[in-house]
Amino acid sequence: MNEHDLFEEMKKLLDSEGLVTARLVESVTRTSQLSSSTVPEIQDLFRQWLSLVAREVKRMAVPGKDFSLSEAAGTIGISPSSLLSLLLFLQRTGELSVESVRIGPGAGKNEDICDCLRSED
């Protein structure tokens, strides 16, 4: 490996470390912001929002009919994984029963990670 190649590899490594550091700082910042959600007013607002979303899900989920996670999630404005979690919550509380699940190909990425934290590489 010549000196130029070594320099380019070192540059890539430093760029990568910069991205990791930026993601770490963003994560710590978001965690500290989310810690404010422990105040009762914010928790109450979240419960109200969750109740509204759950009501909409129950309205859309017709017993005996297929239910498209991606379409319903897009309509409601949440991710399909969040909608699936909500459906499981509604099943645990006895408000509905999930009777079938159809598996499709994955998106190739973790849906729970914000696009703003993904590198463009």
pLDDT tens-place string over residues 103-120: 888 888 877 666 666 666
- pLDDT at site 26: 75
| Among candidate residues 104, 103, 99, the one with its CA nearest the CA of residue 62 | 99
Instruction: Between 13 and 80, name the one with better pLDDT.
Output: 80
Q: Which CATH number fits domain 39-100: 1.10.760, 1.10.10, 1.10.1420, 1.10.3710?
A: 1.10.10
* Helix (H) and strand (E) counts in the chain: 4, 0
Q: pTM of the predicted model, to two decimals?
A: 0.61
Mean pLDDT over 41-46 rounds to 85
pLDDT of residue 36: 67
Secondary structure element (H or E) that encloses residue 35, with its range:
none
Confidence of residue 54 (pLDDT cuts 50, 70, 90): very high
Which residue has better confidence, 13 or 44? 44
pLDDT of residue 115: 67
Higher pLDDT, 20 or 58: 58
